[in-house]
């Protein structure tokens, strides 16, 4: 008898779940409250005021909010650079800001930002140094009289463009980088991490330096913010100590007078209103899901949560690999450990999160480590030693190149015959859209450098052994 699966939501996680259910021989039925598929990734035909102004530069990254039956719905438009935040609601901790009720200006959450024109010539305070706060501030700095960002703890700010003009993640999210982070002594790993974060500019000089600079918290991606600070159109300040009717006093004693608008870019919470809270958060408001997917206390593994993780890696392939494993559990092709074993694993993961990210409650995880773990459950994790023996060219790309989702289609269930070629040609395909005026041949990363890295393996391992001797 074919098993039936209910899928709630037709966003990227829901669509991945539908496809994987069908591939596993299950019968999915998807429930979607909207009129279309795609969730936050649905492209909206709404033309924002940003795109109506020919003299306006935008970095994007906020939702277009539309009204339907009295309820707000989100969509993305063509200026969006980063899209995240699903099953979420705005988090506006007004109780954390003494005097905010006395403030006579206008204040709202960054999710409701959609008309930049109304800020022309105004004085704006943005609270929060995340992606939304930085993108909004960068955009408003072209038209507002004054923009200040208030940050409680600072943040690393990364450029989307890295060495030789390649996207940052092609050079940063690699198995080699993960190997160094997990193998080198902590002091060396932290030094290397901070060196990478400060490669573009020294964060201390811009007031952006994180309070605990060695934690691997999610950085901000913004190419414009440093130049806006340098030009004086954006100023970074510490936390707001107190609001008055027209101003804000910061922890350093300085005051921002005559504020017109306060924008809370304070992030989002997450909720599943159709589930009991205890299923997702079984204790202390912490998400207790086995491998971020399965509630450990259910009598049978009949519920999977797809997409409730956060990492520097791509969201879509993460949700896809989660769904690939989940449907095999539903189909009894894979089995879960006992409840006690699952809870022991959750405890261990929380300890690692506390070390790397500074808090155990975070949804953040290491992308490659997590993907490899999921892949190993279904036999899709690439066998690096075997690849070095049988296909050295591919092995070099897999280990030193970007950890693209093709790697999890090289072997095992769901194997794709085109995965090898896709990996070997990914550098050329990345540059093809940008080489609209070709001058000479495109240069790929030096193979000699990769070979040198291989030769350094014994040296690195020896250093690790000596460090713990």
Cβ distance 220 to 211 under 8 Å?
A: no
What tokens were used for 219? 């950085």
Q: What is the pLDDT of residues 144-190, one digit of tens each?
A: 999 999 998 899 999 988 888 889 889 889 999 888 888 888 888 88
Q: Are residues 221 and 320 in the same domain?
A: no
The answer to whether position 259 is within a domain reads yes
What does the pLDDT read at residue 189? 84
User: Of 231, 246, 267, which marks where a domain is finished?
Assistant: 267
CB 345 within 8 A of CB 310: no
Residues 185, 307: Cα–Cα separation, whole Å: 32
Is 40 among the domain residues? yes
Cα(239)–Cα(200) distance, integer angstroms = 25
Residue 164, Cβ neighbours under 10 Å: how many?
A: 13
Are 141 and 263 contained in the same domain?
yes
Ramachandran bin of 371, using left for φ above 0, alpha for ψ from -120 to 50, beta for the remaining angles = alpha
Intra-chain end-to-end CA distance of the chain, in Å = 58
139 and 244 housed in the same domain: yes
Examine residue 416 and state whether it is found in any structural domain, yes or no. Answer: no
β-pairing verdict for 123-127 and 146-150: parallel
Asked whether residue 21 falls in the same domain as residue 32, the answer is yes
User: CA torsion angle for 13, 16, 17, 18 (degrees, to 10)?
Assistant: 120
28 & 134 share domain: no
List, in sequence order, every residue forming a beta bridge with 240; answer none if it has no partner. 250
Residues 148 and 290 in one domain: no
Classify residue 439 by its DSSP letter. -
- Mark residue 426 as left, alpha or beta (left: phi above 0; alpha: psi -120 to 50; beta: remaining): alpha
**Cα–Cα distance measured from residue 381 to residue 360, given in angstroms and rounded to the nearest whole number:** 26
In a domain, 378, yes or no: no
> How would you write the pLDDT of the chain (469 residues) with one tens digit per residue?
889 999 999 989 999 999 999 999 999 999 988 888 887 776 543 333 333 323 322 233 333 334 445 555 555 444 444 545 444 445 565 567 888 888 998 888 887 887 788 999 999 999 999 888 999 999 999 999 999 999 988 999 999 888 888 898 898 899 998 888 888 888 888 888 888 899 899 999 999 998 888 777 778 899 999 999 999 999 999 999 999 999 999 999 999 999 999 999 887 777 777 788 778 776 666 788 999 999 998 989 999 999 988 888 888 999 999 999 999 999 999 999 999 999 999 888 888 777 777 765 578 888 999 999 999 999 999 999 999 999 999 999 999 999 999 999 999 999 999 999 999 999 989 888 888 887 777 666 654 455 455 556 566 666 666 666 6
CB atoms within 10 A of CB 200: 15
Q: What is the pLDDT of residue 467?
A: 63
Is 410 within the bounds of a domain? no
13 and 128 housed in the same domain: no
Show which of 348, 373, 398 is a domain's final residue: 373
Q: What pLDDT does residue 94 have?
A: 58
Q: Tell me if 73 is assigned to some domain.
A: yes
Q: How far is CA 468 from CA 140, 461, 463, in A?
A: 51, 11, 9
Name the domain boundary from 346, 373, 400: 373
Domain count, the chain: 2
How far is it, in rounded angstroms, from Cα 120 to Cα 147? 11
* pLDDT recorded at residue 124: 95
238 and 367 part of one domain:
no
Closest CA to 325 of 391, 272, 370, 387: 370
Let me know whether 144 and 256 are in one domain.
yes
> What's phi and psi for 275, nearest 5 deg?
-125, 150
> Can you spell out the DSSP letters for 53-120?
-TT-------PEEEEETTEEEEEB-TT-S-----SEEE---GGGSTTGGG--SEEEEGGG---GGGGT
Residue 421 forms part of a structural domain? no
* CB atoms inside a 10 Å sphere around CB 303: 16
pLDDT in the model for residue 14: 93
Q: Write down how long the chain is.
A: 469
- Residues 98, 80 within the same domain: no
Rounded CA-CA distance 67/348 in Å is 43
Domain range for 281 is 4-88+270-373
Same domain, 76 and 106: no
pLDDT at 182 (0 to 100): 83
My answer on whether 206 and 292 are in the same domain is no
CATH code, domain with 40: 3.50.50.60
Q: Is residue 18 part of a domain?
A: yes
């Amino acid at each position: 008898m074919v098993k039936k699966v209910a899928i709630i939501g037709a966003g990227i996680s829901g669509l991945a779940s539908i496809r994987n259910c069908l591939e596993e021989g299950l019968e999915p039925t998807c429930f979607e409250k909207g009129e279309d598929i795609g969730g936050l990734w649905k492209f909206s035909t709404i033309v924002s005021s940003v795109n109506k102004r020919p003299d306006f530069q935008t970095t994007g990254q906020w939702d277009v909010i539309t009204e339907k039956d009295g309820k707000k719905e989100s969509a993305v438009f063509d200026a969006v650079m980063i899209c995240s935040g699903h099953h979420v609601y705005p988090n506006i901790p007004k109780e954390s800001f003494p005097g905010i009720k006395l403030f006579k200006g206008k204040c709202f959450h960054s999710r409701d930002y959609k008309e930049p024109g109304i800020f022309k010539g105004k004085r704006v305070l943005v609270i929060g140094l995340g992606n939304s706060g930085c993108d909004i501030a960068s955009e408003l700095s072209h038209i507002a009289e004054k923009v200040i960002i208030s940050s409680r703890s600072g943040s690393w700010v990364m450029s989307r463009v890295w060495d030789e003009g390649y996207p940052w993640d092609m050079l940063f999210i690699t198995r080699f980088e993960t190997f160094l982070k997990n193998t080198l002594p902590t002091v060396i790993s932290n030094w290397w991490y901070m060196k990478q974060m400060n490669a573009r500019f020294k964060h201390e000089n811009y007031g952006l330096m994180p309070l605990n600079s060695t934690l691997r918290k999610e950085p901000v991606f913004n190419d414009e913010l440093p130049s806006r600070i340098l030009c004086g159109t954006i100023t970074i300040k510490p936390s707001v100590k107190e609001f008055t009717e027209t101003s804000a006093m910061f922890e350093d004693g300085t005051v921002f007078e005559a504020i017109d608008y306060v924008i809370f870019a304070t992030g989002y919470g997450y909720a599943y209103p159709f589930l009991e809270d205890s299923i997702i958060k079984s204790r202390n408001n912490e998400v207790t899901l086995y491998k971020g997917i399965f509630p450990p206390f259910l009598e049978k593994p009949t519920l999977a949560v797809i997409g409730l993780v956060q990492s520097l890696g791509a969201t879509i392939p993460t949700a896809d690999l989660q769904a690939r494993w989940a449907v095999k559990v539903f189909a009894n092709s894979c089995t879960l450990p006992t409840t006690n074993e699952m809870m022991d694993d959750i405890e261990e993961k929380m300890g690692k999160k506390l070390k790397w990210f500074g808090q155990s409650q975070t949804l953040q995880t290491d992308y490659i480590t997590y993907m490899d773990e999921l892949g190993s459950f279904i036999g899709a994790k690439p066998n690096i030693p075997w690849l070095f023996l049988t296909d050295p060219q591919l092995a070099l790309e897999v280990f030193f190149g970007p950890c693209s989702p093709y790697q999890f289609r090289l072997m095992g269930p769901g194997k794709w015959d085109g995965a090898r070629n896709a990996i070997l040609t990914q550098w050329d395909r990345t540059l093809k859209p940008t080489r609209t005026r070709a001058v000479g041949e495109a240069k790929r990363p030096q193979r000699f450098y990769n070979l040198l890295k291989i030769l350094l393996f014994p040296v690195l391992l020896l250093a690790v052994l000596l460090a713990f001797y």
